[in-house]
Structure 1
Amino acid sequence: MTEAVVRPDMTPPLRLGHRRVLAIALPIVLSNVTVPILGAVDTGVVGQIGEAAPIGAVGVGAVVLAALYWMFGFLRMGTTGLTAQARGAGDAAEVAAMLTRVLMIAAAAGLGLIVLQGPLFTAALGIAPASAEVEGLASQYMAVRIWSAPATIALYGLTGWLIGQERTRAVLAIQLWMNGLNVALDLVFVLALGWGVPGVAAATVLAEWSGLILGLWLCRAAFRDIAWRAWARVFDRARLRHIAGVNTDILIRSMLLQGIMLSFLFVGAGFGDVPLAANQVLLQFLEITAYALDGFAFAAEALVGQAMGARSVAALRRGAVLTSGWGLVSVIGLAAAFAFGGGAIVDLMTTAPEVRAEARVYLPYMVAAPVAGLAAWMLDGIFIGATRTADMRNMMALSAAIYALAVALLVPVFGNHGLWLALLVAFVARGVTLGLRYPALEAAARSGQGG
């Protein structure tokens, strides 16, 4: 038996079954898998230089920028939940107003990062105990990449807006174009022209601006409707307060998560350039896992959000179960692929013998990571769709504290092994703590009270 969920633009309502879940998730899975593949290409291209420092520099630079950009990740996550709930409630005007809001926020945030790049980069590198060569190359990388900040942040909002409406094929089109162009430019700038680390950054800048242009074109129908510039609605105080509360919670949650990942990188850098490079190579496995699972987590966001808007607990529960079931299938496949093909993937990403050998030592952690992180990724999607962001914020804070304790206890004894174990502990903690809050989420749907 499947549960019918009302959608304001479709009669009769779509059935909430496996086909609908896959129709939402598969384009996202395909589009998201291209993102870590791009990271692997970036790493692989600089890896052809045959030195550890350029690999570590791209890793440090990319992680620092990712941390800065994902402080605005609430534009993707909050927009999906709020748009899906407006859609589920039949409020088409609010759906249009959300697009205007996210573009305005993205423009202001991106320009702010460009203006503040000097002190931000100095502070980030000041806490990273990497070698002088790695820090110098990382600074070159970031000085180029920062010029795509407005486009990068705007794409978060556009992606969330499209997912909330189940327009995941449009998301796929944007990612395929943007990442395909990035890969092509990587090969030209780095291998053909010999631009090195700055060439990797320049390729990304051009690709991200082109991706934003394509995204706006795909949203062109919204700009034909006067609702997108209904300023009284766009700047409605009650709605803005609610959005601010949701986004502030997600911002804090994102900062805590990025703090975990940054500390992982920086603690690993203290073990030397070769372990740092090996960790960066293996983090590409983790990125593949995250983006593959995000496909089904995003489907959960859209379906749960619409169920919350329609006040249907049955639809909420079924959406959570169906998407999580497909997530389980995914992690089993990923763990098997990493177990049997991980060594070959490592060899493709670097030609440095010492980095290859070091990465193989820690490869088993990549086999365990998909299973350890399943609950965390899927519950993130469920809670984002429901905009139960205070729970997300609080449980992430608790998980970050557990991670910090694990680092303090395990790293002095087991070194880099202890660092990887602490990261797996953080994944499990996130899943367990959010799982304990799920009953409250259903109670909120039953009473008609969202996040």
Structure 2
Amino acid sequence: MTLTPRAGGREILRLAVPAFGALVAEPLFILVDYAIVGRLGSASLGALGVAGTVLTTLVNICVFLAYGTTASVARQVGAGDLPRAVKQGVDGLWLAVGIGLAVVLIGWPLAPAIVDWFGASPEVAGQAVTYLRISLLGAPAMLAVLAGTGVLRGLQDTLTPLAVAVGSFALNAVLNYLLVLVLGWGIAGSAWGTVVAQALGAAAYLVVTVRAARRHRVPLRPDAAGIRAAGTAGVALLVRTVCLRIVLVVATAVATRMGVAQLAAHAVATQIWTLLAFALDAIAIAGQAITGRALGAGDVARTRAATRTMVVWGLGYGVVLGGVVLALRGAIPGLFDADAAVRAQLEPVLWVVAVLQPLAGVVFVLDGVLIGAGDRRYLAWASALTTLVYLPAALAVGPFGGGLPALWAALGLWMAARLVTLGLRAYGRSWLVTGG
């Protein structure tokens, strides 16, 4: 079966539109925190920037729980083996819970040292440690959400993740408002609100997965071999993601040393970037599911056709989002109650964020396609190479100046390097491995 442009468009939309809603809801968790915590002052906003970077790093490092599960489950769906697809999903959930518990045990005592690494001032550091420690208690639920999302996406279901994400976001917003602004719990209330919302979201995914397992007569007990296989398969994606997070963590560390206003502005810009990245990733998520299923069914022509369509859509989508950022650049600082100093730092950075969106749209699509194909080893090597391209440019901003715009220009160099490495790979045939 070949994929016509119209059929390809319908299939992409069927998966990408609900994925868009779910993906946008995820960064809105932290954006709501920023909008509410911003009312507590610049120090609290800066603290959330530091702790939020650590938590986002944790989620992104463990995103292989979603991406790897999506690819492996989708490939088994394409091969016609639904029980094996569900079994791999169950193994992924057990792996997620185990990693989450380890994160709590290791991260709690190390929280002050982690915050100190960013070089934050004492008024920022104390609040950052508070937020980080409370949020770490939700790590098992947070990672279970990632794995559960991957299971359903691999099964070609993006509607259920949308429903769970929207419900969790709404609950998070209500709890943050009540705990921070009404009850006066401060930054701790923001953390507790997010933890509760994540726990209920994880419970919803567990219910859906248990039903699927019973329907296909798949055992729910932990399978050491299956969990080990899921972890081993995710190692290369882990390397890829660690490299991506090194880039953003280094950027936050450089911004921290510029001053409180620069840190707060960078924190807001990073959240805007993350929100846009999740929005752009909707097509990439469709790419993971479509590529895994098509290659599992042995259909190379369909994979190629879908890839071409999604690249074009990613480019156009990026142009639209970049235009939205430019149109709203004057209003965005007000959403976070930014003072004059933060506003002055933020506005020029938003220009860079907007210009990079078309490039990001293509990069994210190609990344998703190669993840769906299971081309993990190449992605790991390519990520390491592009990180080495970025680090000298970012670290030079401190001694040579240029401020936040120069720091974000270094991020643009990194994105250009990713486009080259991913584009060359997608043009070839080495990643087109078929079968279950």
How does the TM-score come out when normalised to structure 1? 0.91
* Aligned twin of 1:403: 390
CA distance in 2, matches of 1:136, 1:410: 27
* Aligned twin of 1:8: none
Find the partner of 2:89 among 82, 85, 99.
99
* Aligned twin of 1:368: 355
User: Cα offset for 1:228?
Assistant: 2.3
Q: Does 1:3 align with 2:31?
A: no
Find the partner of 2:152 among 154, 162, 169.
162
* Aligned twin of 2:33: 42
Q: Does 1:87 align with 2:77?
A: yes
User: Cα offset for 1:351?
Assistant: 4.0
Structure 1 pair 30/226, CA: closer, same or farther in 2 (3 Å)? closer
CA distance in 2, matches of 1:186, 1:230: 35
CA distance in 2, matches of 1:444, 1:255: 22
Contact 1:391 1:434 in 2 (8 A): no
Contact 1:86 1:95 in 2 (8 A): yes
* Aligned twin of 1:177: 167
User: Cα offset for 1:289?
Assistant: 1.2
CA distance in 2, matches of 1:244, 1:148: 21
* Aligned twin of 2:409: 421
Contact 1:121 1:139 in 2 (8 A): yes
* Aligned twin of 2:268: 281
Of residues 82-91 and 67-76 in structure 1, the stretch that sits farther from structure 2 once superposed is 67-76
CA distance in 2, matches of 1:3, 1:62: 41
Structure 2 residue runs of 5 or longer lacking an equivalent are none
> Is the partner of 1:116 in helix, strand or coil?
helix
- 1:188-219: per-residue Cα shift (whole Å, max 9, x none)? 11111111111110000000001011222233
Could you tell me which amino acid in structure 1 is paired with residue 411 of structure 2?
A: L
Could you tell me which amino acid in structure 2 is paired with residue 27 of structure 1?
A: P
Could you tell me which amino acid in structure 1 is paired with residue 122 of structure 2?
A: A
> Is the partner of 1:195 in helix, strand or coil?
coil
* Aligned twin of 1:7: none
User: Cα offset for 1:225?
Assistant: 3.3
Contact 1:29 1:295 in 2 (8 A): yes
CA distance in 2, matches of 1:166, 1:325: 22
* Aligned twin of 1:430: 418
CA distance in 2, matches of 1:111, 1:140: 19
Contact 1:154 1:212 in 2 (8 A): yes
Contact 1:327 1:378 in 2 (8 A): yes
Q: Does 1:120 align with 2:120?
A: no
- 1:170-205: per-residue Cα shift (whole Å, max 9, x none)? 010110011110011111111111111111100000
* Aligned twin of 1:149: 139
CA distance in 1, matches of 2:142, 2:165: 12
Could you tell me which amino acid in structure 1 is paired with residue 11 of structure 2?
A: R
CA distance in 2, matches of 1:161, 1:320: 22
Q: Does 1:213 align with 2:208?
A: no
CA distance in 2, matches of 1:191, 1:384: 42
Q: Does 1:30 align with 2:21?
A: yes
CA distance in 1, matches of 2:90, 2:263: 41
Q: Does 1:296 align with 2:287?
A: no
User: Cα offset for 1:16?
Assistant: 4.0
CA distance in 1, matches of 2:415, 2:131: 30
CA distance in 1, matches of 2:359, 2:256: 24
* Aligned twin of 1:335: 322
CA distance in 1, matches of 2:345, 2:395: 23
Count of matched residue pairs: 435
* Aligned twin of 1:12: none
CA distance in 1, matches of 2:372, 2:77: 12
* Aligned twin of 1:18: 9
User: Cα offset for 1:151?
Assistant: 0.4
CA distance in 1, matches of 2:106, 2:16: 37
Write out aligned runs for 1:222-237 (5 A). Answer: 222-225=212-215, 227-229=217-219, 234=223
- 1:305-331: per-residue Cα shift (whole Å, max 9, x none)? 111111211111112122222222211
User: Cα offset for 1:231?
Assistant: 7.2
- 1:143-162: per-residue Cα shift (whole Å, max 9, x none)? 11111110000111110111
CA distance in 1, matches of 2:371, 2:108: 33
> Is the partner of 1:183 in helix, strand or coil?
helix
- 1:268-306: per-residue Cα shift (whole Å, max 9, x none)? 000011000011111122012101111100000000111
User: Cα offset for 1:56?
Assistant: 0.8
> CA-atom RMSD, angstroms?
2.2
> Is the partner of 2:80 in helix, strand or coil?
coil
CA distance in 2, matches of 1:226, 1:417: 53
CA distance in 1, matches of 2:395, 2:139: 34
CA distance in 1, matches of 2:371, 2:62: 15
- 1:390-410: per-residue Cα shift (whole Å, max 9, x none)? 011000000100001222444
* Aligned twin of 1:9: none
User: Cα offset for 1:221?
Assistant: 2.6
Structure 1 pair 409/358, CA: closer, same or farther in 2 (3 Å)? closer
CA distance in 2, matches of 1:42, 1:230: 35
* Aligned twin of 1:10: none
Structure 1 residue runs of 5 or longer lacking an equivalent are 5-14
Of residues 98-107 and 195-204 in structure 1, the stretch that sits farther from structure 2 once superposed is 98-107
> Is the partner of 2:331 in helix, strand or coil?
helix
User: Cα offset for 1:352?
Assistant: 2.0
User: Cα offset for 1:230?
Assistant: 7.7
CA distance in 1, matches of 2:269, 2:304: 35
Could you tell me which amino acid in structure 2 is paired with residue 265 of structure 1?
A: T
CA distance in 2, matches of 1:219, 1:367: 39
CA distance in 1, matches of 2:16, 2:173: 24
Find the partner of 2:299 among 285, 304, 312.
312
Could you tell me which amino acid in structure 2 is paired with residue 324 of structure 1?
A: V
- 1:120-156: per-residue Cα shift (whole Å, max 9, x none)? 3234223211111111100000111111110000111
Of residues 383-392 and 406-415 in structure 1, the stretch that sits farther from structure 2 once superposed is 406-415
Structure 1 pair 315/351, CA: closer, same or farther in 2 (3 Å)? same
CA distance in 2, matches of 1:258, 1:24: 27
